[in-house]
């Protein structure tokens, strides 16, 4: 079509008609916008009046438009309608009446414009004119070049940025007499360029007619998306100036322009009929997406192209076209190869083999005409051998080669849709596939529950081989993808925490983090090595603390023994040796506690405050919940001076009794708020307690995950001794107690 249009333009530019010129027709300008641009309508006119100026501009339309124009009082000078057909272009119809009182012309026009590339469109027109009672018919043709950035694969570069959505070039020849007459044709050429989004947009055009040439210039400035200011000039003569404005509101464009050359006001209104192109494009894209989900790639491509015809800037449709075009092109090549092979089989009278190739082609493209015609031609010959072919499928079925059997039965049904045996076997294969898919699905579900994501994914994919649309398997494959992303982030965070705890010596907290990583990623090499390394280090610490505790117990230092065995229990709560010694220490201290309390009371009564406080502290180290000792401690602290109390606090801090030391530092600061030693040591003491809270809390979590609820509660109780308001310990202790209660109710 492009070649034919070129020939029409070439012929028209060289066409020699008689010399008579019809001023009324050639000076007529339908549409106020074209009038305002100095009658530069060969470019920048995208409504039904493009039939008059340049029918190629119809190819740039993306919706249905009706236009009415008035250029003389109480008279309709132009009415037109353009109808857009996606993928095919736009048709336009119009009627016009010139406003020259000396020689009025009535004209009816028909035009068609269509795109022939992403940036080029062409068009043709046919007009019937009548002056007084004389009538004649003319034709027209045009080209429009308008580079845009609307493309599935956006281009880049300096030239693209300079010309895309900015530059337009138009060429048209109009009023070519169909028969010999006294009227000349006219050639028009025009360009426009926009310097920015809001303008100005400069338009220039030249109209050529035998013995006469006119120049036209215009400018459009858009200070707002819905408002344009228009001005133009003809033949660079200030007396031929025109100016006005255009308002865009919802589906309507209204232009009002004054033309100084004719001393007339031109008023034009255009109506968009139907939804916005952007909405229509989105609707079409959604249809294409549904077709794509149903594996109908060809229909999806066709509908996507339709969406892009409505809105060239629809990115979703552009991406789908970019995805599908190479796939369809590859399929077409495969189909061509299949047709060649089928044709060679057919020549050798291998009709069944030929039919298989034709049906493979039809499976990829059910609308392929060559394959459809060929299969109809050889069908009678194929039917003769269908039973032998069917028996071959049955043999595959009986040997459990269901895939080959399925292909043969499906091919037969393409030739013989009523073949009952094939239908029956396909139903049985379908049932078998469902059972196989469910078997692999439930196996995958088991691996998923064990957090073995790789094996789970493998099994779910096997299920999809039997049922490609198995929604549950698809759901879990997507969930595994999400889990991997989440796990990767979680493992990275746990590794950082573990390394931090390891550097600060909090080995148990580090070990718990590495074990958590192993739960998420069983094959994580770093976590494996670190778990083994830290387990050995903790065993060494436990053995050393146990030896220290045993030695302290044998020499009668029960407080030191208790501390050592508590350290062992903090690392290994199930250590039976440490539990045994702690019970012995508890039994041994019951009588000693009374003696210590009586001794502390005697020191208090003799006003020996420092000695009394030391004895009370020793008692509370053995029995922290002794109410009388606590009360006596408060009385002593209220009487002792800040210096003596600070020395007692330092002694407890150096022996690792941080909670007791913290209380005394606070009492010192109540007596002496600016005591620098107390302030510094209190902060250090608080830091040590925070580390202990973290260690006990972490061990509690570990026991909880191992369902060792009582050991977990013991750890969280130690946390709450230091920080009674620790929300995590309170919440988890409550959960553990509920679990213990629930387990107790089991039969």
Interatomic CA distance for residues 80 and 65, integer angstroms: 8
Q: How far is CA 219 from CA 19, 191, 204, 231, 524, in A?
A: 33, 12, 9, 5, 69
Structure tokens given for 309: 């015809």
What is the per-residue pLDDT for 151? 54
CB-CB contact of 646 with 675 (8 Å): yes
Interatomic CA distance for residues 352 and 343, integer angstroms: 12
Which residues, including other chains, have CB under 8 Å from residue 483's CB and lie 6 or more apart?
Answer: 453
Distance of CA 509 to the CA centre of its chain: 38
Q: Spell out the long-range contacts of 518-523 with Cβ–Cβ below 8 A and sequence spacing 24 or more.
A: 519/451, 520/451, 520/487, 520/490, 520/491, 520/494, 521/487, 521/491, 522/451, 522/452
What is the per-residue pLDDT for 578? 82
What is the per-residue pLDDT for 11? 40
CB-CB contact of 342 with 370 (8 Å): no
Task: Please tell me whether residue 696 adopts helix, strand or coil conformation.
Answer: helix
Q: What is the mean pLDDT of each run of 10 residues along the chain (747 residues)?
A: 43 37 64 90 92 93 92 84 92 85 79 90 90 79 88 54 86 83 80 84 90 89 89 90 92 92 89 89 91 88 90 88 91 92 87 80 87 84 78 89 87 78 91 91 85 86 89 89 82 84 74 81 83 83 84 79 79 78 72 71 74 70 72 75 76 76 74 77 82 85 78 84 80 80 54
Which residues, including other chains, have CB under 8 Å from residue 97's CB and lie 6 or more apart?
Answer: 75, 76, 77, 78, 104, 105, 106, 107
What is the per-residue pLDDT for 657? 76
What is the per-residue pLDDT for 12? 40
User: Which of 232, 76, 22 lies closest to 66 in space, CA to CA?
Assistant: 76
CB-CB contact of 104 with 309 (8 Å): no
Looking only at the bridges linking them, the beta strands covering 134-145 and 105-115 are unpaired
Structure tokens given for 323: 């995805």
Which residues, including other chains, have CB under 8 Å from residue 69's CB and lie 6 or more apart?
Answer: 30, 31, 32, 49, 76, 77, 78, 79, 266, 267, 268, 269
Which residues, including other chains, have CB under 8 Å from residue 156's CB and lie 6 or more apart?
Answer: none
- Our CA dihedral for 283, 289, 295, 301, rounded to 10 degrees, sits at 70
CB-CB contact of 260 with 287 (8 Å): no
What is the per-residue pLDDT for 250? 83
CB-CB contact of 222 with 246 (8 Å): no
CB-CB contact of 186 with 26 (8 Å): yes
Angle between helices 525-554 and 576-605 (to 10 degrees): 50
- Domains of the chain listed by start with CATH number: 2-274 (2.40.160.60), 280-421 (no CATH), 434-495 (1.25.40.10), 658-747 (1.25.40)
Q: Give the Cβ contact number of residue 649 at 10 Å.
A: 26
- Please report the beta strands in 132-263, taking only residues with DSSP state E, as ranges in sequence order: 134-145, 167-177, 186-194, 201-209, 212-224, 227-234, 241-249, 252-259
Global model pTM greater than 0.75: no
Looking only at the bridges linking them, the beta strands covering 227-234 and 167-177 are unpaired
What is the per-residue pLDDT for 163? 80
What is the per-residue pLDDT for 592? 67
């Amino acid at each position: 079509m492009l070649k034919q249009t070129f020939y029409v333009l070439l012929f028209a530019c060289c066409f020699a008609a008689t010399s008579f010129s019809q001023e009324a027709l050639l000076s007529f300008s339908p549409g106020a916008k074209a009038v305002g641009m100095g009658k530069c309508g060969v470019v920048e006119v995208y409504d039904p009046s493009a039939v008059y100026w340049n029918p190629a501009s119809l190819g740039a339309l993306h919706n249905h438009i009706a236009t009415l124009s008035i250029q003389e009082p109480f008279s309709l000078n132009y009415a037109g309608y353009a109808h857009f057909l996606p993928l095919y272009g736009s048709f336009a119809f119009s009627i016009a009446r010139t406003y020259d009182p000396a020689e009025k012309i009535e004209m009816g026009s028909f035009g068609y414009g269509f795109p022939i590339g992403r940036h080029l469109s062409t068009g043709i027109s046919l007009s019937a004119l009548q002056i007084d009672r004389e009538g004649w018919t003319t034709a027209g043709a045009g080209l429009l070049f308008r580079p845009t950035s609307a493309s599935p694969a956006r281009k880049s570069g300096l030239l693209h940025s300079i010309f895309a959505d900015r530059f337009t070039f138009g060429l048209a020849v109009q009023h070519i007499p169909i028969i010999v007459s006294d009227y000349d044709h006219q050639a028009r050429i025009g360009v426009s360029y926009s310097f920015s989004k809001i303008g100005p947009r400069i338009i220039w055009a030249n109209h050529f007619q035998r013995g006469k040439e006119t120049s036209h210039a215009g400018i459009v400035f858009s200070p707002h998306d819905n408002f344009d200011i228009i001005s133009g000039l003809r033949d660079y003569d200030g007396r031929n100036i025109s100016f006005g404005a255009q308002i865009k509101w919802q589906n309507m464009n209204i232009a009002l322009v004054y033309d100084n050359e004719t001393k007339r006001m031109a008023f034009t209104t255009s109506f968009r009929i139907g939804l916005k192109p952007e909405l229509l494009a989105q609707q079409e894209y959604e249809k294409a997406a549904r077709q794509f989900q149903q594996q109908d790639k060809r229909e999806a491509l066709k509908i996507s192209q339709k969406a892009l015809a409505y809105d060239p800037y629809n990115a979703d449709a552009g991406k789908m076209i970019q995805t599908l075009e190479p796939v369809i092109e590859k399929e077409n090549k495969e189909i061509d190869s299949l047709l060649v092979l089928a044709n060679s089989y057919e020549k050798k009278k291998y009709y069944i083999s030929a039919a298989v190739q034709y049906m493979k082609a039809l499976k990829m493209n059910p609308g392929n005409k060559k394959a459809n015609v060929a299969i109809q031609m050889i069908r009678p010959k194929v039917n003769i051998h269908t039973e032998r072919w069917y028996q071959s499928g049955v043999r595959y079925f009986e040997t459990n080669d269901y895939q080959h059997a399925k292909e043969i039965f499906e091919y037969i049904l393409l030739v013989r849709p009523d073949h009952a045996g094939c239908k029956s076997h396909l139903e049985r294969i379908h049932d078998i596939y469902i059972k196989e898919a469910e078997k692999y699905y439930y196996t995958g579900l088991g691996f998923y529950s064990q957090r073995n994501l790789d094996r789970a994914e493998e099994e779910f994919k096997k299920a999809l081989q039997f049922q490609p649309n198995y929604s549950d398997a698809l759901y879990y494959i997507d969930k595994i993808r999400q889990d991997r992303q989440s796990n990767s982030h979680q493992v990275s965070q746990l590794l950082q925490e573990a390394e931090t705890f390891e550097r600060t010596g909090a080995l148990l907290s580090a070990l718990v983090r590495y074990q958590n990583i192993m739960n998420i990623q069983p094959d994580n090499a770093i976590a494996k090595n670190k778990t083994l390394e830290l387990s050995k280090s903790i065993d060494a610490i436990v053995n050393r603390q146990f030896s220290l505790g045993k030695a302290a117990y044998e020499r009668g230092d029960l407080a030191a023994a208790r501390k050592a065995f508590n350290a062992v229990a903090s690392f290994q709560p199930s250590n039976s040796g440490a539990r045994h010694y702690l019970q012995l220490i508890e039994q041994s201290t019951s009588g000693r506690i009374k003696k210590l309390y009586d001794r502390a009371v005697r020191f208090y009564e003799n006003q020996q405050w420092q000695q009394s406080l030391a004895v009370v502290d020793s008692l509370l180290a053995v029995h922290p919940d002794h109410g009388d000792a606590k009360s006596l401690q408060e009385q002593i602290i209220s009487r002792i001076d800040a210096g003596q109390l600070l020395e007692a606090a330092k002694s407890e801090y150096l022996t690792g009794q941080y909670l007791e030391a913290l209380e005394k530092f606070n009492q010192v600061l109540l007596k002496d708020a600016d005591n620098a030693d107390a302030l510094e040591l209190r902060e250090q003491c608080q830091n040590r307690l925070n580390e202990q809270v973290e260690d006990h809390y972490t061990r509690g979590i570990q026991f909880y995950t191992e369902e060792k609820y009582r050991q977990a509660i013991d750890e969280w109780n130690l946390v709450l001794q230091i920080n009674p308001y620790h929300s995590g310990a309170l919440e988890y202790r409550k959960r553990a107690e509920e679990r213990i209660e629930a387990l107790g109710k089991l039969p």
